[in-house]
Amino acid sequence: MPRRFTLKTLAAAATVAGMGFTALSAQAADTIKVGVLHALSGTMAISETALKDMALMTIEDINAKGGVLGKKLEPVVIDTASNWPLAAEKAKQLISQDKVAVTFGCWTSVCRKSVLPVYEENNALLFYPVQYEGEELSKNVFYTGAAPNQQAIPAVEYLMGEDGGSAKRWVLLGTDYVYPRTANKILRAFLKKKGVADKDIMEAYTPFGHSDYQTIVADIKKFAAGGKTAVISTINGDSNVPFYKELGNAGIKATEVPVVAFSVGEEELRGLDPKPLVGHLASWNYFMSVKNPTNDAWIKQWSAYAKAKNLPGQSTKPLTNDPMEATYVGIHMWKQAVEKAKSLEVNKVIAAMAGQTFKAPSGFTLTMDAKNHHLHKPVLIGEIKADGQFNVVWKTKEPIKAQPWSPFIDGNDKKKDEPEKK
């Protein structure tokens, strides 16, 4: 074999590896396949079904306006069934069999952690739309939800302040998996730096799908008798319904023991009587109740789509929330990056994502950081109202740059604010 031919062959192979296996197939097809990977059954379906539907609405809208690179997007919808090993298998299927150009999906960090090696090994793209614990940066993931400094830390600072009730004691309550445990590790370190003693922090975890909160709520009530107390809730999925019901049953009012949730939004409140929960809080980067023309138009679009598709619940009571907004923004930013790169080649799209901007329903123009694959996002804290919506009681003036590596974790100051090139 002539040496020149060998070098050409090696160079071609290197180019193929850089493009990512799926991008080549997607480029050649009549449509561009995109993966939608969410739990549509099991404990997380209460939260994730709306993200799947928002992805489909956004894809349909993009197709109506000409598609991407002159081709229609073809969604490939996969149900992870709230089963994390299954999510990894389904991610492999999306990449190797369905040959998708990109995947939009996951909610829990254990889902993301399960599929992450699949995307890295295949040099494929994942857009992750939910707030999370940080402590991760991957070349192959774009994080369109909040890092801890864009949600958790500002919420605790608010509760420490006069407007938030000047809390002195803290209950860290979560579902037993990586996100709540890591988020609470960060919050514990933050509270310690603020002078909070260990005896003034109660920490408790429950399994996915947990439904009996009587004992835990009784423990919270007893702990709160020791001074001004706030609850930081990282409970995920349908367990939020019995937790909030038990709060109401126990007569725990927001004026006495405020609960701030990081995974409860408009969709989770749909299944509850919100009246006993009035005044409890959530910290997000978007609420449906914010007033601006972009949000008004988006809600109108979603309402029409939900009615036309007869989506359960949404067709009669359409709701938007933060992870739906992050899904919507992520898909549009991916489209913009592909069009800037004029290619579906993964490395070219990754490079084109840096600095992408999008005018979001939150009323802010969001920017994808030039290096760290996270969005600059505003922080909003909202109080639950009797109608299941949120009254925004505090927000940042500008979007905040994400800190994937929390400064409250030892050793993080030595870590780079950009993914390792692989």
Dump pLDDT digits (tens) for 263-307. Answer: 889 988 887 888 888 999 999 999 999 999 999 999 999 999 999
Q: Is the dihedral of CA 401, 405, 407, 408 positive or negative?
A: positive
Q: Quote the tokens at residue 413.
A: 């100051």
Strands 229-234 and 201-206: unpaired
The token duo for 206 is 């429950």
pLDDT tens for residues 237-269? 889 989 999 998 999 999 999 999 998 899 888
The pTM of this model reads 0.90
User: How far is residue 339's CA from residue 166's CA, in Å, rounded to a whole number?
Assistant: 49
Q: Give the Cα separation of 75 and 38 in Å (integer).
A: 13
Q: Under DSSP, is residue 260 helix (H, G, I), strand (E, B) or coil?
A: strand
Most distant pair of Cα atoms in the chain: their distance:
82
Q: What is the pLDDT of residue 422?
A: 62
The answer to whether residue 8 scores a pLDDT higher than 70 is: no
- Mean pLDDT of the 379-393 span: 96
pLDDT at 19: 53
- Ranges assigned E (strand) in 169-274: 169-175, 201-206, 229-234, 259-261
**Nearest 10 degrees: Cα torsion 401, 402, 403, 408:** 90
Q: Which domains does the chain have, with CATH numbers?
A: 149-287+408-414 (3.40.50.2300)
Tens-digit pLDDT profile for residues 78-124:
999 999 999 999 999 999 999 999 999 999 999 999 999 999 999 99
For residue 336, give every residue at least 6 positions away whose Cβ sits within 8 Å of its Cβ, in sequence order, or none: 352, 356, 358
* Least confident stretch, 124-128, 249-253, 317-321, 330-334: 249-253
Spell out a b/e string for 370-396, using b for 16 or more CB atoms within 10 Å of the CB, else e.
Answer: eebbbbbbbbbbbbbbeebbbeeebbe
Q: Which of 242, 98, 96, 247 is nearest to 171 (CA)?
A: 247
Please compute the mean of the pLDDT values over residues 28-56 and round it to a whole number: 94
Q: How many CA atoms lie within 13 A of 41 on its CB side?
A: 7
More confident residue, 23 or 197: 197
Q: Which two tokens stand for residue 39?
A: 């739990």
User: Distance (Å, rounded) from C-alpha 284 to C-alpha 271?
Assistant: 19
At residue 276, the pLDDT reads: 83
Distance CA 352, CA 369 (A): 11
Residue 152, burial from CB neighbour count under 10 angstroms (0-12, 13-18, 19+): buried
Q: What percent of the chain has pLDDT over 90?
A: 87
Q: Quickly state the pLDDT bin for 125 (edges 50, 70, 90).
A: very high
